[in-house]
Amino acid sequence: MLVGVASGIPYATFFRALAPVAAASLVLDFVVIALVYRTEMARPFDAPPHPRVKVHGFLMAKGLAASAAMLAFFFAAPTSPWSRSPRGPRCSSRVA
């Protein structure tokens, strides 16, 4: 992402160029993990019984409120100043 932003490549172009590489890497990771751990994955998992969980209502409400505030401030914040430059979205530390 940083390379795409610094070079001025639009996100869609960057995504189209690297999506096949990312998908192939994901498949390769799956195959390697399946081969390395094939004996462990051949037998069923032994799941421990679920313990009773105590819900702290105040802490849950506080966490949800903080998350909602963070999302509200994130979407209400103005865009970054360098994204409005007339030359396009370029990194300010780029050497000409």
Give one DSSP letter per residue of 11-58, joined into a string. Answer: HHHHHHHHHHHHHHHHHHHHHHHHHHTHHHHHSPP-PPPPPP----HH
Q: CA-CA distance, 64 to 71, in Å (whole number)?
A: 11
Q: Name all contacts of 31-36 with Cβ < 8 Å and 24+ positions apart.
A: none
Q: Which residue has the tokens 């396009």?
A: 88
pLDDT band of residue 10 (cuts 50, 70, 90) is: confident
**What's the whole-number mean pLDDT along residues 80-86?**
56
Checking if the pLDDT of 84 tops 80, the result is: no
Q: Which of 16, 46, 63 is nearest to 4 (CA)?
A: 16
Checking if the pLDDT of 57 tops 90, the result is: yes
**Per-residue pLDDT reduced to its tens digit, 59-71:** 999 999 999 999 9
* pLDDT-wise least confident of 9-13, 32-36, 67-71: 9-13
CA atoms within 13 A on the CB side of 25: 5
- pLDDT at residue 40, rounded to an integer: 87
Query: What pTM, to 2 d.p., does this model score?
Result: 0.44
